[in-house]
Amino acid sequence: MGMTIFLKPNVRLKLLTRKKFTPQAPMRIEGVLDEWVEHFPKDAKFLRSISKNLNRSKVRKICGKRSKNSTRQKFLAVMLWGYGPYAVGATRTLEITKELNFDNKLIEIMKLARGGRHIDAVSYMATNPIRGLGPAYGTKLVYFCSPKTVCAPIYDKRIRDWLNKYAANELSGARLSKTRWHTNSYVAWSHWLQVQAALLGRNWEDLEYLMFEDAKSIGRSAKTSKRGKTSKNKHSKKFKTK
């Protein structure tokens, strides 16, 4: 299993913690709620009941041990929060639920996560994949179903991009080139985050969100660079000597 090997604060993360922390705002899903209701008519009442102020705390409560919501409703809450205002969420989620043995797999994932076995839950999804449910949303499910005492962070493309740029040499055994199911990468990420939280004296969930927001600049830089290269290539072709 991958383990963190650096026992000092990450330079970039330490810099981010100096700024005033602003918690993640609730997801704005009003514009796509009707589409979710259309795709999941049997859960229409549930979906409408959670549509206001859908934040991390609310989704965690829905997925908690004491929750009376069905396994499928817990899954829908995670996916609705995850996709937020993006209209494709309902269609993609419906396709995921159509897979053979989906409910049984979902029950097992949640059972492992609720038991504090987040690594086993991730490993289970890696070896028993659900078509359409990759690490980005699979780890969201594990995150919301795990006890708060367990460091079970989300691992999506933004987090992977951030780690690849600012902490690639600090995670042992991790594969950061692509966001795919790889248990060792998740273990290394979870352990590294726990160490950083202890070193910086901050909540690991807050650190994860800081990284997620900071990664937006990586995406913008990549797009700017790509546009620059395209413009340069066009200019070169235009004045190319025959």
Three-state SS annotation for the chain? CCCECCCCCCHHHHHHCCCCCCCCCCECCCCCHHHHHHHCHHHHHHHHHCCCCECHHHHHHHHCCCCCCCHHHHHHHHHHHHHCCCCHHHHHHHHHHCCCCHHHHHHHHHHHHHCCCHHHHHHHHHHCCCCCCCHHHHHHHHHHHCCCCCCCCCCCHHHHHHHHHHCHHHECCCCCCCCCCCHHHHHHHHHHHHHHHHHHCCCHHHHHHHHHHHCHHHHHHHHHHHHHHHHHHHHHHHCCCC
Question: Per-residue pLDDT for 238 more than 50?
Answer: no
Question: Per-residue pLDDT for 149 more than 80?
Answer: yes
Instruction: List the one residue out of 121, 94, 127 whose CA is nearest residue 108.
Output: 121
Domain ranges across the chain: 11-234
Section 40-46 average pLDDT: 97
Write down the pLDDT at residue 10: 97
Section 210-237 average pLDDT: 66
- The per-residue pLDDT for range 25-39, each reduced to its tens digit, is 999 999 999 999 999
Write down the pLDDT at residue 118: 97
- The per-residue pLDDT for range 68-89, each reduced to its tens digit, is 999 999 999 999 999 999 999 9
Give the confidence band of 180 by pLDDT, cuts at 50, 70, 90: confident
Write down the pLDDT at residue 72: 96
Write down the pLDDT at residue 237: 46
Question: Per-residue pLDDT for 211 more than 60?
Answer: yes
Write down the pLDDT at residue 134: 96
- The per-residue pLDDT for range 186-200, each reduced to its tens digit, is 999 999 999 999 999
Higher local confidence (pLDDT), 230 or 194: 194
The model's pTM: 0.88
- The per-residue pLDDT for range 131-144, each reduced to its tens digit, is 999 999 999 999 99
- The per-residue pLDDT for range 109-120, each reduced to its tens digit, is 999 999 999 999
